[in-house]
Amino acid sequence: MRFPKFIPTLTLSSEEEAQQVMSILSQSSCDCIEVTLRDGVSINAINYLSNSHELNVGLGTVYHPDQLDGIEMDRIKFIVSPGFSLEILEFSQHEAITYIPGVETASEIIRAVNNNLNVLKFFPAETIGGISKLQAFASVFPDVKFLCTGGISTDNYKEYLLQENVISLGGSFVLPRKLLDQDLNLAIDHLKNLQPKKNRAEALSSNPSFEGVLSEILLSSLRILSFPLGGL
């Protein structure tokens, strides 16, 4: 699957809450979410989100396949666990779902790589060494990419994104629970501000404005004027 730069991580307690989150994500150009299977999680909320064809839904805090009873797995895109689980690996392979186990040490990375997994969860990022440890892993495991969570915030996330072996960032900082409870517009603005900004060329190509169209007309006019009339 394609990994976005940011993956909101939430525990949803009701379908109504899922509808609220869906509205925020759609208005923020965010097409991915990890729903954690912690106490109070609503299976109906997960199934509601996963029924959207525009949203990539993953499950987090998974440590045994028994937790997944009642979830429509054919629409789930990825599973994240705090550590490596052979049972979850086999389940994910059977369901053709991306599995992202948590790792902390070189030995854990080797075990994951030997099971053909090369996108891993670096967790809890700040506690286990943060940027310096990621840089150390980069030279030893050049083909491994990390989804980093744990201790990442608006104060330090940009430094993580500069690391070549970081594919994505997750956690509560991406879509804070307090914003959901306070003001949906604040939540939308917060998520929009995290998204990578398009440069001018990308913006014009993806959404041709009047300015962009006018530039093309002027260029075409110049080409016509510069055509050698004597050759006609």
Which residues are tagged catalytic?
A: 34, 121
Q: Please tell me the distance from the alpha carbon of residue 171 to that of residue 60, in angstroms, as a whole number.
A: 11
> What residues contact residue 201 under an 8 Å CB cut-off, 6+ apart?
none
- Polymer length in residues for the chain: 232
Q: Please tell me the distance from the alpha carbon of residue 134 to that of residue 190, in angstroms, as a whole number.
A: 27
> What residues contact residue 228 under an 8 Å CB cut-off, 6+ apart?
none
Q: Please tell me the distance from the alpha carbon of residue 212 to that of residue 218, in angstroms, as a whole number.
A: 10
Paired tokens of 130: 């943060």
Q: Please tell me the distance from the alpha carbon of residue 203 to that of residue 181, in angstroms, as a whole number.
A: 33
Cα–Cα separations (whole angstroms), residue 50 to 8, 56, 192, 224: 15, 7, 22, 53
Q: Is 109 exposed, middle or buried (0-12, 13-18, 19+ CB in 10 A)?
A: buried
With the C-alpha atoms ordered 183, 188, 194, 197, is the resulting torsion angle positive or negative?
Answer: negative
The values of phi and psi at residue 127, to 5°, are -70, -35
